Amino acid sequence: MTSVIERPAAQFGSASNLVCRECGATYPLGPSHVCELCFGPLEIAYDADLQRLVTRESIASGPATMWRYRGLLPVAPLVDLNVGMTRLVPAPHLARELGMKSLWVKDDSGNPTHSFKDRVVSVAASAAAALGYEVLACASTGNLANAVAAAAANAGLKSVVLIPHDLEAGKVVTTAVYGGTLVAVEGSYDDVNRLCAEVAGELPWAFVNVNVRPFYAEGSKTVGYEIAEQLGWRLPEQVVIPIASGSLLTKVDKAWRELGSLGLVDATPYKVFGAQSAGCAPVSTAFHAGHDVVQPVRPTGIAKSLNIGNPADGPYALDVVRRTGGSIADVGDAEIVDGIQLLARTTGIFAETAGGVTVATLRKLLAAGELDPAAETVILNTGDGLKTLDAVEPVARPTATIAPTLSAFREAGLFE
Ligand SMILES: *Cc1c(COP(=O)(O)O)cnc(C)c1O
Ligand SMILES: [Zn+2]
């Protein structure tokens, strides 16, 4: 087995090398994502001595963005739209409605392009810049398209974004406006992703979720770091996370394990719960069948940002959920719309369909007795409802439409 460990350049922060998640083979840091020996996925490994230089104080003295954790990330902030440090909102009214004791919403709709994807793109785009790429590309279910196009525009890079042709207008317009190349592909996300892997083999482009995916994925750790810091440097007891590729879920867990082993928080136990849409529930299905492998599906349903039928990190998400004692559930389109309305009505947060999936899954897991209503719980809202207006338009209408007179106001029953 070849094992290459090179001294990393300063621009790679505390990262030491790439490591295969399956066989443990190591590779120098660079634009590769697949193990040459076993075809397993590569991930970033860190120099623990360098990571140990990070303290609560050094983090607090950093910027009010995700880059305050740069000592725990694999690259310097070369591309930065002031992403992260989104609000952690207490949700007492939602908690009361669900019979829970303590509930928080980590609201990533507050990012520059209104989803958590700005985090992964900040790291991937910075890595692309460090590695000398001039074109930033991706396959996207929508939110990644926004984030890549905006980050490239800000950094003066070219962007090439490939999306399934049937995405919401709220994701197409909000990508095209940044002026990069936007290609609508007549196929599903999984078709788009396959095409991107082929194109990536032909052109010297940084595909954020293909050849620089190990860097991309680390960006999601910052969700976990922020939750811990915002709770006063401790971990919650339960977290509910939506699953598309499964990367976000696995990286929140990685973040919390790192914080525990670095002594930045007490390594208290937590349970990780996964949320999927019934129209695309391959990880939930595998969980309930007791399988370690994830059988691909053809996605349907309104939660398009989560519609990855062949999730790259599905098996690792299963590992995390099983190791921590959590579980996974999936919810149908009507429940998703109810979930969006419930969150909006009780917190003032307007989530996209993925957030509806998470709230509806929270409710379902509570009803099933799998989530403890007495345990402190954080749920992630990963995107903004303004991008998926069509999902709620039929049920979110004016209470009344009236003539501009007092009698009309009274007749419409608005005095009650
Ligand atoms: C991409 C995305 C997710 C899930 O991301 P994975 O890391 O691929 O599991 C969740 N919510 C929203 C809104 C997304 O765009
Ligand atoms: Zn390997």
C-alpha of residue 20 to centroid of ligand 2, in Å: 5
Q: pTM of the full predicted structure? A: 0.95
Local structure of residue 361 (DSSP, 8 states): H
Q: State whether the beta carbon of 200 lies less than 6 angstroms from ligand 1.
A: no
Ligand minimally distant from the alpha carbon of residue 109 = 1
- Which pairing describes strands 88-90 and 26-27: parallel, antiparallel, or unpaired? unpaired
Give 90-109 as a DSSP string.
Answer: E-HHHHHHHT-S-EEEEEGG
173 within 8 A of 180, measured Cβ to Cβ = no
* Residue of 124, 206, 203, 204 lying closest to 159 (CA atoms): 206
C-alpha of residue 404 to centroid of ligand 1, in Å: 44
Cβ-based neighbours of 270, under 8 Å, separated by 6 or more = 235, 236, 237, 238, 239, 256, 324
Ligand minimally distant from the alpha carbon of residue 21 = 2
Distances (CA, A) of 98 to 60, 88, 129: 34, 19, 46
181 within 8 A of 214, measured Cβ to Cβ = no
Residue owning tokens 């390594």: 267
Cβ-count burial 61-89 (b if 16+ within 10 Å, e if not): ebeebbbbbbbbbbbbbebbbebbbbebb
Q: In this model, does residue 7 exceed pLDDT 60?
A: no
Which of 7-11, 350-354, 391-395 is predicted least confidently? 7-11
- Which pairing describes strands 328-331 and 181-185: parallel, antiparallel, or unpaired? unpaired
For residue 260, the tally of other CB atoms under 10 A from its CB is: 17
21 within 8 A of 32, measured Cβ to Cβ = no
* Residue of 116, 49, 202, 159 lying closest to 379 (CA atoms): 116
Mean pLDDT of 356-369: 98
- The 3-state DSSP class for residue 280 equals strand
C-alpha of residue 416 to centroid of ligand 1, in Å: 42
Name the region of 290 (left: φ>0; alpha: ψ -120 to 50; beta: rest).
left
Q: State whether the beta carbon of 164 lies less than 6 angstroms from ligand 1.
A: no
C-alpha of residue 40 to centroid of ligand 2, in Å: 5
Q: Which atom of ligand 1 is nearest to the CA of 243?
A: 9
- pLDDT at position 2, please? 35
What are the pLDDT digits (tens) for 268-295? Answer: 999 999 999 999 999 999 999 999 999 9
Widest CA span of the chain, in angstroms? 84
77 within 8 A of 126, measured Cβ to Cβ = yes
Q: State whether the beta carbon of 159 lies less than 6 angstroms from ligand 1.
A: no
- pLDDT at position 11, please? 79
**Tokens in use for 156?**
């003066």
C-alpha of residue 261 to centroid of ligand 2, in Å: 25
Phi, psi of 214 (to 5 degrees): -60, -40
- pLDDT at position 9, please? 62
Which of 239, 245, 273, 388 most suits a substitution to test ligand 1, by most atoms within 8 Å of the C-beta?
Answer: 245
Which of 115, 208, 361, 388 most suits a substitution to test ligand 1, by most atoms within 8 Å of the C-beta?
Answer: 115
Q: State whether the beta carbon of 244 lies less than 6 angstroms from ligand 1.
A: yes
Mean pLDDT of 331-337: 98
Ligand minimally distant from the alpha carbon of residue 312 = 1
Task: Show the domains of the chain with their CATH numbers.
Answer: 9-51+117-216 (3.40.50.1100), 87-114+220-392 (3.40.50.1100)
Q: In this model, does residue 6 exceed pLDDT 60?
A: no
Q: In this model, does residue 28 exceed pLDDT 90?
A: yes
C-alpha of residue 34 to centroid of ligand 2, in Å: 8
Q: In this model, does residue 104 exceed pLDDT 70?
A: yes
At residue 416 the predicted structure's pLDDT band, cuts being 50, 70 and 90, is: confident
- pLDDT at position 12, please? 83
